[in-house]
């Protein structure tokens, strides 16, 4: 044994050839500050071993290295820029020492080799992989860029165009793709990974391969004609501006860093990378995206706690074969859980089956699924007409019309046909679960399971706990949602639950703003381009359907009469009454025209102002800040109330649910992150200016309490990074 620590060991694999094995405590390897300190010691040991002729770097885990330790990021980001720069310089000097060892080196890679793990692999002369390799530099998805030499070595290894694409998009490629790119040098079976690495090294040691040339290419300036380089950079910048936009600065910073270091040798180019990396860590975007990632891990942990308590259902049923029902049935079958799809109307049942078939066809057309696989999934969806065909079900999802009386009858009828252990759920979007449970004999076996449309694309499922819902039922439904590939978040019971409850104050505020004279197209543009929503409130209402929105706003008004009152003259009711229902009627706030490819394109409606005339409004201009404040303050207030009441259990769950369920801008991290970044005190001071607009704008008591001392909702990171020197 040449070296041993809690995260790695170095030993002789064969005479003259050493093997450095990453083997951290726990299930995965990651490049945290402690591991980097150990790597520093291990490399020093190798540098002092005169009999060394070659080196293999590999992992004892299922994957190589999943990247840096993201739990350390916020602490590192919070450090003074000079300290962070010095720490990065230290890490880069360490990686350079691996690359500069006087012997050939090979990285033996399997499964996930991401971020810092990929950058570590780039330091070696050769990379050999198993066919399950997934490799890439996804740092831009966290609001930063490669910081351990990835933006320097990758362009020199696989070409500038390829590297720019992988880095700016944060792409993760397969073993086959990596081989084509030149990112790896071969693919072998898992049990041949070390033997194959030895063969590569022996060829290099004997002089049959020129490993020094491989190395020199990565250490030199980028070998590309100036005109070609300029064209690559211009194209990359144009694509970044188009796809990332101004709210996500990391991809453009990566391009600029590569450009700055392109004609410089390795060490100078690395300093350019660091100079572009450090400012990104100061951005709110990086903090928000890292926070969002940590929230994902937190919610996954909660899900794991539930899934160990109860097996996933083996046979499901969906009652109501509309678009939602067909989507839920498809998702269940796609995830390996056979499903009965029931509707009393033959035409509706066929429509649900057709929806599932359409989704399967799209998968086949995109190459994500074979026709045989699609046929197997279709066969797992069994259309039924009668309740007595559901006796073998473990779980039932009711997805009929959003009407309390109808839902209660359907659920009561189903309960009589299934076993006493069968779980019943409702896909209601607004009706309190405890009210629906009043019709049931076994309310402990019942909860809400609220999917979002379109089901295959939307990752969130709200699991709603009623007054009498058992823990076992919650565990079963969470497991089912998880098995379906969804992110379940358990919420408390109330009208609208969490997502719709916080959405409708936002939509009510939009209605008030329109009645106050705001230009609808301007409001949408501001909320999309300035705040960052995927669509503005008017387009969102068109997509949801103005009839649906009108129904739900009255449900919410009944549930929260003091705050969500529906004004007699409001734009949502007006449009619903005029049958301007949005996309479903091809006319709402916009005209929706079929583009001939199965997509609807919005177009302005020249008659919009005439349609709005019954509101008696006087058109006026609002600043972008006014529009954002008027729409967002009611949503923030309602989120805080949900937290106060225990409807949502933590800021982490709330923020993840908002991003996954509503499309809240990821670069803002969610409402609680938005509040922390704004500061609770500054938010309350701003909100006070709008207090005359009504109860939607009344600041909750707990938020005022936070504002007194400017207390954040998330724990604050340490002020200094852990040093590795």
Query: DSSP 3-state assignment of 535?
Result: coil
Q: Which two tokens stand for residue 383?
A: 């259309």
How many other CB atoms sit within 10 Å of the CB of residue 536? 24
Q: What's the pLDDT at 720?
A: 53
Q: Tens digits of per-residue pLDDT, 333-356?
A: 999 999 999 998 888 898 889 888
Q: Under the phi-then-psi rule, with left for phi > 0, alpha for psi from -120 to 50, and beta for the rest, what region is 105?
A: beta
| DSSP state, residue 243 | H
Residue 382 appears among annotated catalytic residues: no
Nearest Cα to 140, choosing from 257, 223, 295? 257
- 145 near 276, Cβ under 8 Å? yes
pTM comes to 0.93
Write the pLDDT tens digit of every residue in 289-319: 999 999 999 999 999 999 999 999 999 999 9
The pLDDT tens digits of the residues spanning 630-654 come to 999 999 999 999 999 999 999 999 9
| Cα 437 from Cα 408, distance rounded (Å) | 8
Region 699-719: mean pLDDT is 90
The average pLDDT across 390-396 equals 93
Residue 666 · residue 292 · CB < 8 Å = yes
Q: Does the pLDDT value for residue 725 go beyond 70?
A: no
Find out whether 657 and 498 touch, Cβ atoms under 8 Å.
Answer: yes
Rounded Cα–Cα distance for residues 110 and 129 (Å): 6
| Predicted local confidence at residue 724, as pLDDT | 47
Residue 643 is predicted with a pLDDT of: 97
- Check 450, 482, 592, 706 and give the catalytic one: 450
CA distances in angstroms from 495 to 67, 427, 502, 649, listed in the order given: 42, 13, 11, 17
The DSSP call for residue 31 is B
Q: Which residues pair with residue 580 across a beta bridge? A: none
Cα dist from 559 to 57, 325, 426, 450, whole Å: 61, 26, 19, 18
Q: What is the pLDDT of residues 186-205, one digit of tens each?
A: 999 999 999 999 999 999 99
The neighbouring-strand residues paired with 22 are 8, 59
pLDDT, tens digit (0-9, with 9 covering 90-100), for 565-605: 888 889 999 999 999 999 999 999 999 998 887 788 999 99
Q: Is the pLDDT of residue 259 over 90?
A: yes
Q: Domains in the chain, ordered, with CATH?
A: 3-282 (3.90.226.10), 313-495 (3.40.50.720), 499-646+679-709 (1.10.1040.50)
Q: Are strands 316-319 and 460-465 parallel, antiparallel or unpaired?
A: unpaired
| pLDDT for 117 | 97
Q: 719: pLDDT confidence band, cut at 50, 70 and 90?
A: low
Average pLDDT for the chain: 94
The pLDDT of residue 695 = 94
Structure tokens, 53: 């002729």
Residue 50 has pLDDT above 70, yes or no: yes
In this prediction, residue 165 carries a pLDDT of 97
d(CA 378, CA 356): 8
Residue with tokens 């607009």: 693
């Amino acid at each position: 044994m040449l070296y041993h620590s809690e995260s790695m060991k170095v030993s002789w694999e064969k005479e003259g050839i050493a093997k450095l094995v990453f083997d951290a405590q726990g299930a995965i390897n990651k490049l945290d500050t402690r591991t980097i300190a150990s790597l520093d010691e291990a490399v020093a040991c190798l540098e002092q071993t005169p009999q060394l002729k070659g080196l293999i770097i590999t992992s004892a885990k299922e994957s190589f290295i999943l990247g840096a330790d993201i739990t350390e990021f916020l602490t590192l980001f919070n450090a003074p820029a000079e300290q962070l720069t010095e720490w990065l310089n230290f890490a880069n000097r360490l990686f350079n020492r691996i690359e500069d060892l006087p012997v050939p080196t090979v990285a033996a890679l399997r499964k996930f080799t991401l971020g810092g793990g990929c950058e570590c692999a780039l330091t070696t002369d050769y990379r050999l992989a198993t066919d399950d390799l997934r490799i890439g530099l996804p740092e831009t998805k966290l609001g930063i860029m490669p910081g351990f030499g990835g933006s320097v070595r990758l362009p020199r290894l696989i070409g500038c165009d390829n590297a720019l694409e992988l880095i700016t998009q944060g792409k993760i490629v397969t073993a086959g793709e990596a081989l084509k790119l030149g990112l790896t040098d071969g693919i072998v079976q898992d049990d041949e990974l070390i033997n194959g690495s030895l063969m590569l090294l022996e060829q290099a040691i004997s002089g049959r391969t020129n490993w020094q040339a491989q190395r020199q290419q990565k250490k030199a300036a980028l070998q590309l004609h100036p005109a070609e380089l300029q064209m690559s950079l211009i194209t990359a910048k144009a694509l970044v501006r188009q796809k990332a936009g101004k709210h996500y600065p990391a991809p453009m910073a990566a391009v600029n860093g590569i450009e700055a270091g392109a004609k410089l040798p390795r060490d100078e180019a690395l300093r350019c990378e660091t100079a572009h990396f450090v400012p990104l860590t100061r951005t709110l975007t990086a903090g928000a995206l890292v926070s969002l990632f940590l929230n994902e891990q937190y919610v996954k942990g909660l899900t794991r706690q539930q899934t160990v308590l109860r097996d996933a259902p083996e046979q499901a049923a969906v009652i109501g074969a509309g678009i939602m029902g067909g989507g839920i049935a498809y998702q269940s079958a796609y995830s390996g859980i056979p499903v009965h799809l029931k509707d009393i109307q033959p035409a509706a049942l066929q429509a649900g089956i057709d929806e599932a078939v359409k989704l399967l066809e799209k998968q086949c057309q995109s190459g994500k699924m074979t026709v045989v696989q699609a046929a197997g999934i279709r066969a797992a969806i069994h259309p039924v007409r009668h309740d007595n065909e559901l006796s073998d079900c473990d779980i039932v999802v009711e997805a009929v019309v959003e009407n309390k009386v109808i839902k209660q009858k359907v659920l009561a009828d189903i309960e009589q046909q299934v076993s006493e252990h069968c779980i019943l759920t409702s896909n209601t979007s607004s009706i309190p679960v405890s009210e629906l449970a009043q019709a049931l004999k076994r309310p402990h076996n019942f909860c809400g399971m609220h999917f979002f449309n379109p089901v295959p694309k939307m990752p969130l499922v709200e699991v709603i706990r009623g007054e009498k819902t058992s823990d076992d039922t919650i565990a079963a439904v969470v497991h089912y949602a998880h098995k379906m590939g969804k992110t379940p978040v358990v919420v408390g019971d109330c009208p609208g639950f969490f997502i719709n409850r916080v959405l409708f104050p936002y939509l009510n505020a939009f209605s008030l703003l329109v009645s106050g004279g705001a230009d609808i197209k301007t409001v949408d543009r501001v909320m999309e381009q300035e705040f960052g929503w995927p669509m503005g409130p008017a387009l969102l209402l068109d997509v949801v359907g103005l009839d649906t929105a009108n129904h739900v706003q009255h449900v919410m008004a009944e549930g929260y009469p003091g705050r969500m009152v529906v004004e007699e003259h409001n734009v949502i009711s007006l449009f619903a009454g005029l049958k301007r229902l949005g996309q479903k009627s091809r006319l709402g706030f916009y005209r929706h025209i079929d583009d001939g490819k199965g997509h609807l394109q919005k177009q302005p409606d020249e008659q919009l102002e005439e349609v709005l005339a019954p509101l008696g409004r006087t058109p006026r201009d609002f600043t972008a800040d006014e529009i954002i404040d008027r729409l967002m303050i009611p949503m923030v207030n309602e989120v805080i109330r949900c937290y106060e009441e225990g409807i949502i259990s933590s800021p982490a769950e709330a923020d993840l649910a908002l991003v996954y369920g509503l499309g809240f801008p990821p670069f803002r991290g969610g409402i609680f992150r938005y509040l922390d970044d704004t500061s609770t005190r500054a938010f309350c001071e701003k909100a006070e200016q709008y207090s005359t607009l009504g109860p939607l704008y009344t600041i909750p008591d707990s938020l005022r309490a936070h504002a007194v001392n400017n207390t954040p909702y998330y724990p604050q990171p340490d002020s200094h990074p852990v040093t590795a020197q």
